[in-house]
Amino acid sequence: MTEQVYSTDAYAFEVDATVVDVDRETNRVLLDRTVFYPGGGGQPADRGVLLLGDDPLAAADAGDRVDVVGVGQDVRGVWHELEGALPTVGTRVHGRLDVDRRLALMRTHTAMHALCGVVWDRFASPVTGGNMEPGVGRLDFELPDWDPEERDPLEARLREELAAARPVEIAFLPRAEADLDPSLIRTKVSLLPDDLEVVRIIDIVGLDRQADGGTHVRSTAEVGEVRIAKVESKGRGFRRIRLALD
C-alpha cells in the first residue's frame, strides 16, 4: 500500500518516493508514498510533477520531470497518471504538488464542511450531494422547509464561524467505534466502503465533525472570505447551495 502522506499532513506539498509498479496501458506509476490526493468526496485529485532521480534540484535543472495529470487509487495504493515517458520500477522520484491549486481546494473543502455544520445546526438536514473545484463548491441538502429569506442569515453565520478561527483536527477511529456514532455521517446515505476498517474523521471543533478523506486547512481562519453565490431548487424539498471564495 502507498503511504498516504496527505491523510495526516495536508501541508506536505513535496515527497521523496520510489516507483514500485508501472501500468503502460494507462501511463501510470504506483509510488510507495505520495502527497497527491487521489480525489474523492467531491474533491478532485491533485496535480503536479515528478522530478526523476535522487537529486530534485539537478532533475529540475536538467528538465528530468513528468507532469502528474491524474491520480487514482485502488487496493494496491495510489496511482499517478503521467504526461510523458514512464520511469521504470525502482526509480527514485520527488513529487511536487501544484501548491496554489491544493491550497485553494483545502480552503474550499473546509468552507464546505463549515456550511454543512451551519445547515445541520439550523435544519438538521443531510447532504444529498456535493462537488468542488478550486475556489468554488456546491452542496445539495434536503430542505423541505427552505425559505429564501434564510439565505442571508445563513451566509452571515457561515462567515462568523469561519472568522472564529476554529481548529480543524484529524482523528482515526476503528470502524466498529465509528459505526456507533451516526452523527459522523452527514450524507443521506453512508458512502463508507464496507471493507473500510479505519475511518478518518475531520473535526471543525465545535461546529462540524464527520467522516472524510479529503484535505483541509488547520484553522477556519485560513479559509478567508466566503459567500453563498447562489441557492437553487433541485426539486421539491431539495436545495443546492453554491459557495465561492473571495
Q: Within 10 A of 121 (CB to CB), how many other CB atoms are there?
A: 12
- 22-76 pLDDT per residue, tens: 999 999 999 999 999 999 989 999 999 999 998 888 888 888 999 999 999 999 9
**Residue 128 and residue 211 in one domain:** yes
Considering only CA atoms, which of 31, 42, 155, 150 is closest in space to residue 96? 31
**pLDDT over 60 at 189, yes or no:** no
159 and 92 part of one domain: no
Domain boundary among 60, 80, 97: 97
Same domain, 55 and 166: no
In sequence order, which residues have a C-beta less than 8 Å from that of residue 212 and are 6 or more positions away? 41, 113, 200, 201, 202
Count of structural domains within the chain: 2
Clarify whether residues 76 and 108 are in a common domain: no
CA atoms within 13 A on the CB side of 57: 0
The yes-or-no verdict on residue 182 having pLDDT over 80 is no
Angle at 148 between CA 146 and CA 151, to 5 degrees: 95
Q: What is the domain-level CATH number for residue 113?
A: 3.30.980.10
Task: Please indicate, yes or no, whether residues 118 and 193 belong to a single structural domain of this protein.
Answer: yes
Burial (CB count <10 Å: 0-12, 13-18, 19+), residue 174: exposed
Q: Are residues 132 and 214 in the same domain?
A: yes
Range of the domain at 138: 102-245
Same domain for 73 and 36 = yes
Query: Global pTM?
Result: 0.93
d(CA 164, CA 195): 37
Choosing from 97, 126, 159, the residue where a domain stops is 97
Task: Name the percent of the chain in helix, strand, coil, to the closest 5.
Answer: 25, 40, 35
CA–CA–CA angle 18, 19, 21 (5° rounding): 145
Do 49 and 76 lie in one domain? The reply is yes
> What is the average pLDDT across 137-145?
93
Pair 69, 156 in one domain = no
Do residues 32 and 135 share a domain?
no
110 and 91 together in one domain: no
Q: Among 72, 97, 122, identify where a domain stops.
A: 97
- Calculate mean pLDDT across residues 100-107: 98
